[in-house]
Chains A and B, each alone.
Chain A
């Protein structure tokens, strides 16, 4: 299964980023092999609509689930349209997030976990 973790760095040992649309990087992880592909967030500095743009990017990259800290309403709608599941939790590293996901310890959300612009406050 291909999941994506919002991250501050490029690999499994990087600190996760609790923001989705304003995350620094995305680390795509194959949960079977733990192979990773890191990508900059193309929408991280968008003036507006970062959640939607990043969600579109994640859908296009073929991720089946997003593991993040918080997800706003616009990003959630866009991810749902692309059939991507959203799991939230608070771990230290990308690896911890993947392990928590595989251990069933992340919460799957069926709607936004925070309001719009939450990630603009510099939460990380």
Chain B
């Protein structure tokens, strides 16, 4: 049972009557270009007149700020509940210890031990305790910062060093979402933090690269999205002529490839300097403008429940 400290969000004038369209950028493999794509798309969308909120949900290593370079205006602490035991009430029945799969609360003999470092903050021990001996104690696990840069409203979460559970921090980041276009930059992989980022998004873009590792992890991410019943498409980064394994896979699985970004040393060099590649490398902006246009179509259609045949994902 996680709880967050609620404070006033940064004022944001969302266009009236425009519900948020939430598009998440995920990948199986790390380092495929989620942040590159998400940040450049955010700028292109803002230039097209959208009210854009960029949410950096990769709270273990948020790096979108390196590119958008926002001015931070507020910061709030995120806490999550850990069990606090009242031994005057506890009759050592052991139900809490049987429930906790992480052994964060363990009954040994007639003693009940808690291990805050193992707790995933689900609150289950409090629910199963028949005598109400367990209450919740707030433990700081991270922070959420809000600001703005390059015409984009910017929000990022940061998990405290040593803290175990990213999802409560990600959830707090998502609470800062506003109307307009919301871009969620997910962590890599397919574990709990990714699920927390992606669920309730309208559309997911899986950023991959045409390598055996990229393809292997893409297939795992595709399985995840199918289980979550989320509509999605694939974006191939560092695309090379002749490297067709991802395209072959997508064709086989009837998955739409929404865009390709070429494997170009100038892009890598510009990225490594923290620049926006739409502004520094010829031909990249037009790729992102096309991506933005298509995404608005397919994601908007997916949200309205009228998605086209080429869009993957169960209703």
Contact = CB atoms under 8 A, between A and B. Distances in A.
B113 interface: yes
A78 interface: yes
Contacts of A116: 117
A contacts with B: majority SS: helix
A74 B106 CA distance: 11
A83 B109 contact: yes
Interface in B108-134: 108-109, 111, 113, 115, 117-118
Given A52-B106, A56-B106, 16 more contacts: A47-B102, A48-B103, A49-B118, A52-B103, A52-B115, A52-B118, A53-B103, A53-B106, A56-B103, A59-B109, A74-B115, A78-B106, A78-B108, A81-B109, A82-B108, A82-B111
20 contacts: A47-B102, A48-B164, A49-B104, A49-B115, A52-B115, A52-B118, A53-B103, A53-B106, A55-B108, A56-B106, A56-B108, A59-B108, A74-B103, A74-B115, A74-B117, A77-B115, A78-B106, A78-B108, A81-B113, A82-B109
Nearest to B106: A52
Contacts, number: 43
* Interface size class, chain B: 10 to 19
Contacts of A47: 102
Contact of B102 (A48, A77, A82): A48
Contacts of A81: 108-109, 111, 113
Interface in B57-93: none
Interface string A26-66: 00000000000000000000111100110110010000000
A37 to B, nearest CB: 21
Q: Top 7 closest A-B pairs, CB basis?
A: A49-B103, A52-B103, A81-B111, A81-B108, A82-B108, A49-B118, A49-B102
A61 to B, nearest CB: 12
